[in-house]
Structure 1
Amino acid sequence: MSRELDKLSINAIRVLSADAIEKSKSGHPGLPLGAATMAFTLWTKMNHNGRNPHWDNRDKFILSAGHGSMLEYSLLHLFGYGVTVDDIKNFRQVGSLTPGHPEYGHTEGVEITTGPLGQGICNAVGMAIAEAHLANKFNKENYKIVDHYTYSIVGDGCLMEGISGEASSLAGTLGLGKLVVLYDSNNISIEGSTDIAFREDVAKRYEAYGWQVLKVEDGNDIDAISNAIDTAKMETSKPSIIIVKNQIGFGCPAKQGKASAHGEPLGAENVKELKENLNWKAEPAFYVPSEVYSNMNKYIENGICKEEKWNQLFKEYKESYPQLAEEYTNWFSGKVDREALESEEFWKFDKAMATRQSSGEIINRLAEIVPNLIGGSADLAPSNKTHMNTRGDFSAEDRSGSNLHFGVREHAMAAITNGICAHGGLVPYCSTFFVFSDYMKGAMRLSALMKLPVTYVLTHDSIGVGEDGPTHQPIEQLAALRSLPNMTVFRPADSKETAAAWYYALTNGNSPTSLVLTRQSLPLYDESGKQALKGGYILKDSKKETPDVILMASGSEVELIYKAADELANKGIDARVVSVPSFELFDAQDESYKESVMPKCVRARIAVEAASSFGWHKYVGLDGEIISIDTFGASGKAEILFEQFGFTVENVVGKAIKVVTNIKINN
């Protein structure tokens, strides 16, 4: 009888999904119908509690194929997560708890935002890394405080995306045995049969990655799926992928197995036929038999019991290991030691250096201040200066290390770091050359959308890269990141501004931060420091209350305007020097502060940045000028390139004189 009730519950997922998509006239019914048995069976075996979606030791579930969101919403409804039938009726409507793709922080039980295919499986790898590292830190004999699995459902599209291959390769290398992926293998994509573009042997590919590969030939065989999950969990040294042969749109006679089932409502007649085929009551829409809810109550109660057992275990752990228990609580609080970050030692530098180097020094200071700091680079740690010298390396052999080696995998690295951050308990960062932030953009966008405080360390920020040439010299990347909502971008002018960037990254809690850092050495300014947290500030003021001209810049070009101000003074022009390390933070200041830094009455303005001019126009106005690069760079020594592209004190002085003169003439 229990299996019959489970099958009834599985069909409830199908019907709720079909009705919701039909009502909204928008959505993807194919996956919820085809993968319902697989997903339901998994959720009945997971350790989770719908009554407390934030239980620390819950198993994590990620629907990487996020277009099939109604599958997850139906599961959340049936397993007691607070998603109501009314919420399901409002699928894809403005303000509903059931948006088109699952959104982190919006719907209880959704572990991470998915939608762009391939991102979710990478997030799952990140969560599995977090679980392994935390388990190594906190678990003691008889006290497995951190002991959960990470599960992800992926589709053909996820596995076609190259980003999933990067993450899967790393997961195999790291031997993430508590990562289990269920592959909804239905051989259909939007354009038709996957044979037109995807004929590889996925099983062999994953074997080559170092995964355990399991197969279920009938996606509606509950016992076979259950046994495969058990087998996956028994393998502790490898991640597992379970290839489940499903039929897209299962249960709908006119759509089953067809591409048309993927991304459009079934249609009223087809929904009616689906219900008839499943022996389901046709009306009212969204009908679920009471027996289903009775059946689900036992699973919900089971989840409650599992958390209660863990709570008792943690209580005993706290008595036996009070210091570790306190650390555990602190790590998962998301807070850092602000007092240590505000100490004189954190902000102290005594010599000129590249901002990538000062960032490296700060990272090693943070390694002593932030015990749960974890991060690494895409095979560039010696160049990015991101290695924590007092911490070991995280590997298949050693889970205690905090230095992550992502390999040359920028696409996946950022998405994996999102997963680490969303898991909780750790403070993650990742790094590469700034020009390769293009590879990371999809995941960086999701960091910003989810308000995840991930820190991106992006070095080699301009034509200062020099001989590597235009392929490695970022031009438009600053403008691209500044255009991204909720991404805070810092391009510091010296070591103290770099400290400010790190301070903000670790304390704001609501946005990712991109640190854009130099390869070449920069001066250390007496006047710089915590003022950089305002995004823009007066580094060297004019002699007059109202300056003749405002010189503004970020990063390495601040040195040019600093020196240019002295040259202009010799020519009788009074200049104010403004460092603008972060557009976002400056724009967030109140109007009186912004007016005090850049008075509207001063129309003579020069902005200098070795990157695209895009974005600076809002600061220089119609009368000002921008010294920038709106072409690609060139290969050659950095100092020669800066001169060739006009980044000289002489050019700044000349432009400033021209602007001041023109304004006087026109007035």
Structure 2
Amino acid sequence: MPASKLDQLCVNTIRTLSIDGVEKANSGHPGMPMGMADVAYVLWTKFLKHNPKNPEWLDRDRFILSAGHGSMLIYSLLHLTGYNLSLEEIKNFRQMGSKTPGHPEYGMTPGIETTTGPLGQGFGTGIGMAMAEHFLAAKFNKEDQCIIDHYTYAIVSDGDLMEGISHESASMAGHMGLGKLIYLYDSNRISIEGSTDITFTEDVSKRFQAYKWHVIEIDGHDHDKIVAAIEEAQSVTDKPSLIVCKTHIGFGSPNKQDSESSHGSPLGEEEVRLTKQAYGWESEEQFYIPSEALDKFREAIEKGQKAEDEWNTVLESYEKDHSQEFQEFKTWMRRKISDKLTESLPVFKADKKGIASRAASGKVINAIKDVIPNLFGGSADLGGSTKTDIEGYGSFIEDSPTGRTVHFGVREHGMGAAVNGITLHGGLIPYGATFFVFTDYMRPAIRLAALMKIPSIFVLTHDSIGLGEDGPTHQPVEHLSSLRAMPNVTILRPGDANETSHAWKVALENENGPTLLVLTRQNLPTQERTSSNPADLVNKGAYIFSDSDSETPEAIIIGTGSELQYAIEAKETLIDKGVDVRVVSMPSWELFENQDTSYKESVLPKSVTNKVSIEAGATFGWERYVGPKGKSIGLDSFGESAPYEELYEHFGITTEAVVEAVLENK
């Protein structure tokens, strides 16, 4: 059934705003907003639970524009429904400093739930949001007092579904039975190169049915069918839903509808005029918004405030009837870390045999699990290897939604995005674990976490040639260097068990970006600690582990992670040779760079030119710390398959190599 005259006016308002924004910028993607305007209008005005005057309302529905290239669609919706996004910002689309960048960015524009644009990432992030809703609803809701009760919606595109991450994430969501997840697929059958007939001919509906999704196919321009499809999807509570919306990209454009020419380029002045004429548009003015349409959209303000007020009433009664759980709910949603965290961290006795930092991390997780009761995470089918299972609280599976150990499966792409989604949703403190080498698979999610400045935690074990016989395919060599190059990522490579304890504390307290805990497979000696080298100095990034006898040492040896032990051993040998040496433990470049100049100079004085670093990875970048006369011991080739002790000898990452380097530079 055709839309009413007012509904059609509103839909065309979305379209013309999107067209005009792209045209003024002379850059952007008008076709998708034009094609999905009907679907978006129905969702946002008839179903989406949101309050434009409080975009952070905890029980709002989450909406993700995974097809982030069509960002003018969500910008138009946000302005029209009354969010703090002015028409001037719409006019400044893609311009420096505007709140309307080329792809939606979290933290910049009110109402944007996650940064999207890299196709498939929004799809995967939404899975994490739905996971969080599922857990928190099961944890806190009472039969007559539901304080967590919302949906996660996304508009996804052909490009999203072609990207590999969508396969992993869809499989995971179907397996988990995330019934409050509803994705609207813009099936317009056009990509940049033309018709998807040349690249993408699978049966998407059957694919998602195989993933255990509920699938509905509709005409994406028929409002009644859109309404019925969303209602049907909401009624299916044990499966996520995919609504396949058959649409026309560039809808209404006389010469560019159903063509790749409307995908990633402005329509052009003449085609804009013809398109608006086809819509029966009453004004040639750019960014014209009919008053009747604006009034209709702005009903969202009163409707949203009413919904939040009703929720607040339920929350007040919940506080009275379940005061302890209410306080816990508040603490969780604020991501407040317990004051008892530090005293709960395990302290490991000095021990030459020691313990692998991955095993120490596992002990930390299970020592703090009750102090941080919303700690929630798992691994990519590697729980036994990464030591990341939370013991005693069960697994997060369809029939046990309050289990705290997540089995992400062999899905690093999907896991990384899901961890970001859980973090963005709020209420849980998630982590995802895998072998360090497989950050190659979830690098896009790590990068987006860094861009969004969100505190996702990634536990990365088997961090070097120290994993041994698995060989170069599994031995990360360049990964530390490459990830250190990524802005706003904090990497910690602790040198023993006690540094690992405090690395976890840093990760939990870091609210400004993702933290990567890089951990060993092999045992590390647990070092002796005194008042001069307490492990909590990890939060400085680098600190004097063992100082020289004189105020200015003859040489400084810098060690990280599993190679700290070699730095310490080298000092003992060098003392016997009459060389006065300082040992610096440097678990985190990023934290060290955050310190003031005087602290950095006190640890690594410029006057000492004989500096040697040792790290079982690429030496790239170490010149900033050892200086032009220093030397870096590491690995600038791929590894080999052999027992790890042999590999360290073979590649010259040894105590003897450190001693020799110091003596050569003396």
Q: Give the TM-score band, short-chain normalised.
A: over 0.9
Matched, 1:117 2:119: yes
Residue pair 2:33, 2:72 contacting (<8 A) in 1 also: yes
1:221, 1:154 → 2: CA distance?
A: 18
Which residue does 2:244 correspond to in 1?
243
2:330, 2:564 → 1: CA distance?
A: 43
Matched, 1:606 2:612: yes
Which residue does 1:97 correspond to in 2?
99
Matched, 1:647 2:649: no
Which residue does 2:575 correspond to in 1?
569
Question: Deviation string for 1:533-580 (max 9, x for gaps)?
Answer: 100110000111111111001001110010000101111111110011
Q: Which amino acid aligns with 2:291?
A: S
2:348, 2:321 → 1: CA distance?
A: 40
Matched, 1:524 2:533: no
Which of 72, 83, 87 is 1:70 aligned to? Answer: 72
2:7, 2:503 → 1: CA distance?
A: 53
Question: Deviation string for 1:209-258 (max 9, x for gaps)?
Answer: 00001010x22111100100000000001000000000000011111000
Which residue does 2:224 correspond to in 1?
223
Residue pair 1:331, 1:426 contacting (<8 A) in 2 also: yes
Q: Which amino acid aligns with 2:535?
A: G
Which residue does 1:663 correspond to in 2?
none
Identity of aligned residues (%): 53
Residue pair 2:214, 2:240 contacting (<8 A) in 1 also: yes
Which residue does 1:138 correspond to in 2?
140
Matched, 1:32 2:33: yes
Question: Deviation string for 1:15-48 (max 9, x for gaps)?
Answer: 0000000000100001000000011111111111
- Greater displacement, 587-596 / 467-476: 587-596
2:577, 2:237 → 1: CA distance?
A: 73
Matched, 1:631 2:633: no
* Structure 1 residues 17 and 519, CA gap change in structure 2 (3 angstroms): same
Q: What is the Cα-based RMSD across aligned positions, in Å?
A: 1.1
* Structure 1 residues 299 and 598, CA gap change in structure 2 (3 angstroms): closer
Q: Cα offset for 1:282?
A: 3.7
Which residue does 1:409 correspond to in 2?
411
1:102, 1:167 → 2: CA distance?
A: 21
Residue pair 1:367, 1:390 contacting (<8 A) in 2 also: no
Which residue does 2:199 correspond to in 1?
197
Q: Cα offset for 1:349?
A: 4.6
Q: Cα offset for 1:161?
A: 0.3
Residue pair 2:468, 2:641 contacting (<8 A) in 1 also: yes
Secondary structure of 1:522's partner? Answer: strand
Residue pair 2:502, 2:536 contacting (<8 A) in 1 also: yes
Which residue does 1:620 correspond to in 2?
626
1:233, 1:241 → 2: CA distance?
A: 11
Residue pair 1:355, 1:521 contacting (<8 A) in 2 also: yes
Residue pair 1:101, 1:115 contacting (<8 A) in 2 also: yes
Q: Cα offset for 1:342?
A: 2.1
Residue pair 2:130, 2:178 contacting (<8 A) in 1 also: yes
1:454, 1:346 → 2: CA distance?
A: 23
Q: Cα offset for 1:347?
A: 4.1
Q: Cα offset for 1:281?
A: 2.9
Which residue does 1:539 correspond to in 2?
545
Secondary structure of 1:368's partner? Answer: coil
2:307, 2:410 → 1: CA distance?
A: 40
Paired residues in the alignment total: 658
Question: Deviation string for 1:91-139 (max 9, x for gaps)?
Answer: 0111111111111111110000001000011111100000000000100
Matched, 1:515 2:521: no
Gaps of 5+ in 2: none
- Greater displacement, 304-313 / 469-478: 304-313
Question: Deviation string for 1:605-636 (max 9, x for gaps)?
Answer: 10111000011110011101111100000000
Matched, 1:309 2:315: no
Q: Cα offset for 1:74?
A: 0.5
Q: Cα offset for 1:395?
A: 0.5
Question: Deviation string for 1:497-549 (max 9, x for gaps)?
Answer: 11121111111211110000000111112234011110011000011111111
Secondary structure of 2:557's partner? Answer: strand
Secondary structure of 1:27's partner? Answer: coil
Residue pair 1:340, 1:346 contacting (<8 A) in 2 also: no
Q: Which amino acid aligns with 2:121?
A: Q
Secondary structure of 2:150's partner? Answer: coil
Which residue does 1:340 correspond to in 2?
340
2:630, 2:534 → 1: CA distance?
A: 25
2:510, 2:173 → 1: CA distance?
A: 30
Which residue does 1:489 correspond to in 2?
491
1:375, 1:578 → 2: CA distance?
A: 33
Matches within 5 A, 1:12-51: 12-44=13-45, 45-51=47-53
Residue pair 1:87, 1:98 contacting (<8 A) in 2 also: yes
Residue pair 1:272, 1:282 contacting (<8 A) in 2 also: no
Which residue does 1:447 correspond to in 2?
449
Residue pair 1:281, 1:287 contacting (<8 A) in 2 also: no
Residue pair 2:184, 2:242 contacting (<8 A) in 1 also: yes
Residue pair 1:491, 1:554 contacting (<8 A) in 2 also: yes
Secondary structure of 2:145's partner? Answer: coil
Secondary structure of 1:467's partner? Answer: coil
Q: Which amino acid aligns with 1:24?
A: A
Q: Cα offset for 1:300?
A: 2.9
Which residue does 1:175 correspond to in 2?
177
Which of 473, 476, 494 is 1:474 aligned to? Answer: 476
Which residue does 1:664 correspond to in 2?
none
Matched, 1:556 2:562: yes
Which residue does 2:289 correspond to in 1?
288
2:347, 2:65 → 1: CA distance?
A: 43
Residue pair 1:185, 1:245 contacting (<8 A) in 2 also: yes
Secondary structure of 1:181's partner? Answer: strand
Q: Cα offset for 1:345?
A: 4.8
Residue pair 1:103, 1:112 contacting (<8 A) in 2 also: yes
Q: Which amino acid aligns with 2:225?
A: A
1:380, 1:126 → 2: CA distance?
A: 19
TM-score computed with the length of structure 1 as normaliser:
0.97
Secondary structure of 1:639's partner? Answer: helix
Residue pair 1:349, 1:495 contacting (<8 A) in 2 also: no
2:463, 2:362 → 1: CA distance?
A: 15
Secondary structure of 1:342's partner? Answer: helix
Question: Deviation string for 1:313-360 (max 9, x for gaps)?
Answer: 1111111111111111111011111x2122275445554211001100
